[in-house]
Every structure is written in structure tokens, then in C-alpha cells.
Structure 1
Amino acid sequence: MRITFLCPHLRIAGGVRAILTYADRLAGRGHAVEVSVPARGRLAAWRRSLIRQRPDWIPGFRPRVSWVARWAADRLPDADALVATAWQSAPVVAAAPPRCGARFYFVQHYESLYHGEPAVVDATYRLPLAKIVISTWLRDVMRERFDSGAEVLVTPVDRSLFRRVPGDIDSPRPRVLMLHHDYEWKGVAGGLEAVARVKRRMPSLRLVGFGVKPPRVPVGYDEFHADPPQERLAAIYSSCDIYLCPSWDEGLGMPSMEAMACGAALVTYDNGGCRDYARDGETALVARRRDVGDLAAKLERLATDAALREKIAAAGQRLVTAAFDWDAAVQRMEALFASAR
């Protein structure tokens, strides 16, 4: 098949990593895959095409990358399947002529919450596109808010990258890892407050942070890893006993799943997307959304109970490494594209 993905950029990020992994693996299965990327101007598109800019963080990336000044429905290539991957590309795909193939919308978050004008973003979910979503929560959002069906394809963890890495860390325990991000909805302020409350009763707890950018002002991290390369992430995850996710809402939450694959026990808000892997008391401890007191209580419970922590970590690791598989996910996406031809 000929398959076109409209991808917003090629920088390493959770959503883009999933898009490009599907594209690369579909190309590896013999399909002619093209990834179309907007460069915000003709000159920028020409320059990036000239140097053949590609996602160098994916070795041997197989799809064709086409840089365009902007997406235009009448300039898209002929294909059997055309895939929007964010609210900005959905109207372009909806307007594409039949020669561009069956039209899909790969939904990785309910973007109306935090990205773009809510009414404009919501309108994209009403477009006549076949939806593929990455969590059962997103499927429910599409059905309940927009009376629209959707196929669920939970994004798997890359087990070649994210696995337990042995190491001897000379540090107080337990070590709690948290993603630092400037978006308010990532809940960093609440996470820091929850940790501070637990530290008052358990001073040995050590908070480890990581993120693309370090904090702008000093905050409560005891250790911070700024912009770590993806091959280093497994060691960071593995060095920590607990992964704390204070996000208010997540389409799925890949860092949580990656940490679980590396053997960390998860404490998380009920952020929607986590429901596919965070089973309270079994594979994670799940706090009420945006309830800092409950988040702190769940964190303290895991921090002070080593046996429970080990039980939760082992069950979580088994779930995320066995229930979701990249080969199966790619074959399912392939089948969805083929059935729409």
C-alpha cells in the first residue's frame, strides 16, 4: 500500500515518536510510506529537502520524508491511506481528493483541553475521518462527546529501549522520578507539593527530575537530568523506585509506561489515558484527579511499604511489556488501512 502521514515535525516527542515508529515499521513491511512535514515557509522547506533532513534519532529511518511550505489538500500525493496526526492536519485530510486514499485521523490526545481554540479543535473530531485512538479513554471521549466511533491502538513501549538496566546508585532511598514540563496541565506544581508533604515525614526520599529543559527557578529536585538522550532514559528510569505522574490529563502517558517497563512502581492521577495500564492496587496506585492530598497519600504509601512497592512494580512491568506489542499494533494498523481501500 501507499500510505501518507501528515506529521507536525520530526523532533523527538512522545506523540511524534509513535507516528514515526508506525511509519517506519510499515515501511519495513514493504509499504511505500511518505511522511509529509510542514517547514513554515518555502525557503525552509527547500533547505530541509536539500539536506534531506530526517529524524536522525531513528537509525535507518525508511519512509520518504517530504518537506512542504504548508499542507495543501490538492498537493498531497496519491495514496491508499492518508493519515492526519493532529488537529491542524485533520481539515487538510478531510479536504483531500479521493486519489489520496482512505482518510484517517490518528488521535493521541483530546487536544481541545490544552491546544488550540477548543471550538476549532472540537470541530476536527466531527470530520468524516476514520479515527484511530491510543487509549480507551480517548475512544470514550470520541463516542460520548462527538458520537463518533474509534479503533483503539494502545501505543506499545519499545522494549529494545526501555528495559531494566542494572546499576548501583549511591543515593538515599526511595528515589522518586518525575517529568518536569512547563505546561501547567503536566501538574509539576502539584507533584512537587505531594513530594514535599511526604518528605516532611520521610526525609530520606529523593526526588529525581528529568525533562527537555531544566527548571527556570530552583525547585524541589534533589537531582535533575536535562535533555537526556533516549538511550540514557532506561538507566534513569531503572535507577528510581517510584515514578510519579501528576498530569491532569493524558492521552496515554508514555513516560509512565516506559518507567514501568524499567521496573519503577507507578503513582499517578487518574488522568484518563492511564486507565489502560494503571490498575489501582495492582499495577499502580491511582489518586483522584488533581487531588494533591490523595496523590501525596498514595506516594507515601508506596514510599514506606517496600513489599507493596515491589509487588506493584513487578505487576506493572509484566503488564506493559506483555499486553502491548509493536508488531501486533503495526499489523492492526495495516489491517485497518487495507480494509478501507
Structure 2
Amino acid sequence: MKIVFPVLSLETGGGARFIYHLANSLVDKGHDIEVVMPESGAQVWPLRAKLKRVKELTPSSIPSADFILPNFYLTVKPAWESGKGRVVRLSLGYEPLWVPDSETAKQTYMIGAPIMSISQWHRQILLQETGLESTVISGGVDTSVFHPYPKHSERTGRKNIYYILRDPASGYTWKGGTDFFNAITRLKNSVDFGLTISVPESIPFASLFPCEIKTAATDFELAQLYASADLFVYTSYFEAFGLPPLEAMACGTAVVTTDCGGVRDYVRSGENCLLVPPSDSDQLSKAIYNLLTRDAERQQIAARGHLLAQAWTWQRTANQVEAFLQSL
């Protein structure tokens, strides 16, 4: 099949990483995959698919294909108006929850195109808000890259937490960064631990809590950050899927995550993670404390998470997408 992904950019963020992993996995299955992106869009992640740069996304800039998969509301109109292939709406999140022009975003779901969602929670949100059914495809993890590495604590004896901080000023107001810092501040006098933070937006960041700032320019570098930590903490209020906890599990790292929706497809609280309510710093601090101070429980949770992640591959995601498109 010839499949086109019109995108605005392939910058940092779960949506861009979802696209590049899916596109690459569909290439590996023998499909003709082309990503169309404006000249102004940044490409952070490596593509094995063809990349076509255009001045801007317009109907005339979209190549002919069997299927065109717009994934963000601003890419739907040019894809639909091009008439150059069957449009299937790949929803990586229900945009009216966070974009300013929520009504315009909602209308991009009402054009009559089939919809792919990325978790059962996401499917229910789309059904509730639009009355439309969608077919669930799952996110995945590249276990050839995301796998256990030696943990720093094995050398230092000091447990380490890894956290990905998203910039509220860049629109990431639902990621729960303040909740995280409130939670660990409560712990600073009761347990000793190190903290490593990544800031994908590369903003200047000065923490009141001692920490090490690390950037991850590649999946390999990101995997090492997950794997070297004893605990990964995820604090989003809502996520259509939520890749980071699954990636941390694949790296053999215990996870504390908020019950942010999409993660419900793969998390089991008390088995492969500890699950806490969104925006509850008290419960979050208790969960972090428990896993920092109870080695056997933390190691058991990490082992179960690692085992689960082995089945959640991007090849599996590509198979789901392929089967759905073929059914159309």
C-alpha cells in the first residue's frame, strides 16, 4: 500500500515519535510510506520512510496514495480536500481538550472519515464527545533499544528518579510538573535520592530541588536515562496513550504514573506500576516513597513491567494499522 502521513513537524513529543515509529514499522512491512512536512517543520527523529518537504501543507502538496493519514487537526483539511486517497483520521489525542480553537478541531472529526484511536480510553472520549466510533491501534516500544542497562544505584548505592518535564509555556499545561515537584519536596527530609530531569523543549530550567539535567537527542540516549534510574515518574492529567511509562517498563525501571486515561490499556497498579490520581501530590509522594524504600516491591514491579513491554512492539502496531486499512 502507498500511505501518506501529512505532518506539521517531527519535533519532540509523543505524537511525533508515534508517527516516526509507525511509519518506519510500515516501511519494514514492505509498504510505500511517505511523510509530507512543511519546510518550517523540524525533524528530530530518523525516518526510513520517504520525506517530502513542501512550502506548506495544501491539497496540491499531498501526493496520491491508497491512504492518507492526517494525525493532527490542522492536517486534516488539506488531506481531505486533496482527493488523492482514502483519508483515515489517525487521532493521537482528542485535540479539543487542549487546543484554543476547540470547535474547529472537533469539526475535523465530523468529515465522515474512518478514525483510528490509540487506546480504549481515547476511543471512549471520541465516542462521548463526537458520537463517533473508532478502531483502536496500540502504541508500542522498540525493545531492541529500550531494554535494561546497569543502574547508577548499583554503583553509588543511592536510588535515582527520572522525570521528563514538559514546558507549560509551550502548551503542556496538563503534564503535572508542579505536582511532581510538590511531591518530591515532601520527601526530601525523609528519604535520600537523586533526581535526573529531561526538558524536551530545551528551555532554561532552574530547579529549587537538586537535580541533574540531561538531554536525550536519540532513542538510545532516552533509553539509557530510563534504564539507569530506579524509578520513573509520570504525572499527566490525560493522555490518549502515554508512551513514556511503557518505555520505562521496557528498560526494567519501576513506574509511578497518574491514572491519565490511555495508560490503562497496559498498566496494572500494584503489579507493573503504582497508579495514583492525577493532580494528587500527596498520593504521588507516598507512592514514590514506597518504591524508593521497598527494594523487593520495586524490583518485582519493574520485572513485571519489563515482561509486559515485550509484547507491545511497533511491529504489532503496524500489523493493527495494516489490518484496519485492508479492511476498508
Q: Which has the higher contact order (CA 8 A, sep 6+)?
A: 2
Counterpart position of 2:294: 305
Counterpart position of 2:146: 162
Secondary structure of residue in 1 paired with 2:53: strand
Change (3 A) 1:230 1:326: closer
Q: Report the alpha carbon displacement of residue 55 of structure 1 after superposing the two structures with TM.
A: 5.0
**Matched residues in 1 for 2:68 and 2:93: separation?**
19
Counterpart position of 1:333: 321
Q: Report the alpha carbon displacement of residue 215 of structure 1 after superposing the two structures with TM.
A: 4.6
Counterpart position of 2:127: 143
Say whether 1:177 aligns with 2:162: yes
Instruction: Check whether the contact 2:17–2:45 (CA below 8 A) recurs between aligned residues.
Output: no
Say whether 1:208 aligns with 2:204: no
Structure 2 counterpart of 1:120, from 79, 101, 104? 104
Structure 1 counterpart of 2:49, from 63, 72, 83? 63
- Output one character per residue of 1:282-318: Cα deviation in whole Å (capped at 9) or x when no partner: 1111111211111112112222211111111111111
**Matched residues in 2 for 1:4 and 1:302: separation?**
44
Secondary structure of residue in 1 paired with 2:90: strand
Instruction: Check whether the contact 1:177–1:237 (CA below 8 A) recurs between aligned residues.
Output: yes
Structure 2 counterpart of 1:93, from 69, 73, 79? 79
Counterpart position of 1:253: 242
Secondary structure of residue in 2 paired with 1:186: coil
**Matched residues in 2 for 1:121 and 1:34: separation?**
24
TM-score scaled to structure 1, two decimals?
A: 0.87
Greater shift, 141-150 or 207-216, is seen at 207-216
Q: Report the alpha carbon displacement of residue 227 of structure 1 after superposing the two structures with TM.
A: 4.1
TM-score scaled to structure 2, two decimals?
A: 0.91
Say whether 1:239 aligns with 2:225: no
Instruction: Check whether the contact 2:161–2:233 (CA below 8 A) recurs between aligned residues.
Output: yes
Greater shift, 108-117 or 157-166, is seen at 108-117
Q: Report the alpha carbon displacement of residue 90 of structure 1 after superposing the two structures with TM.
A: 1.6
- Output one character per residue of 1:183-226: Cα deviation in whole Å (capped at 9) or x when no partner: 23211111011011122221x12222122225533332422213
Counterpart position of 2:303: 314
Instruction: Check whether the contact 1:263–1:314 (CA below 8 A) recurs between aligned residues.
Output: yes
**Matched residues in 2 for 1:159 and 1:235: separation?**
13
Aligned length: 322
Instruction: Check whether the contact 1:250–1:273 (CA below 8 A) recurs between aligned residues.
Output: yes
Percent identity over the alignment is 29
Structure 1 counterpart of 2:270, from 281, 287, 297? 281
Q: Report the alpha carbon displacement of residue 171 of structure 1 after superposing the two structures with TM.
A: 3.6
Greater shift, 290-299 or 67-76, is seen at 67-76
AA aligned opposite 1:30 = G
AA aligned opposite 1:178 = Y
**Matched residues in 2 for 1:111 and 1:79: separation?**
26
**Matched residues in 2 for 1:76 and 1:68: separation?**
9
Change (3 A) 1:56 1:290: closer
**Matched residues in 1 for 2:12 and 2:206: separation?**
25
**Matched residues in 1 for 2:255 and 2:30: separation?**
38
Secondary structure of residue in 2 paired with 1:4: strand
**Matched residues in 2 for 1:84 and 1:126: separation?**
14
- Output one character per residue of 1:110-135: Cα deviation in whole Å (capped at 9) or x when no partner: 22222342222222222312111121
Change (3 A) 1:219 1:16: same
Q: Mind listing any 5+ residue stretches in structure 1 that lack a counterpart?
A: 45-53
**Matched residues in 2 for 1:218 and 1:150: separation?**
42
Say whether 1:24 aligns with 2:52: no
Instruction: Check whether the contact 1:195–1:207 (CA below 8 A) recurs between aligned residues.
Output: no
**Matched residues in 1 for 2:156 and 2:218: separation?**
22
**Matched residues in 2 for 1:235 and 1:190: separation?**
25
- Output one character per residue of 1:24-74: Cα deviation in whole Å (capped at 9) or x when no partner: 23233332222111225xxx9xxxxxxxxx95742xx43222112222224
Q: Report the alpha carbon displacement of residue 136 of structure 1 after superposing the two structures with TM.
A: 1.4
**Matched residues in 2 for 1:243 and 1:62: separation?**
30
Q: Report the alpha carbon displacement of residue 261 of structure 1 after superposing the two structures with TM.
A: 0.8
Counterpart position of 2:92: 108
Pairs within 5 Å for 1:38-49: 38-40=38-40
Change (3 A) 1:78 1:168: closer
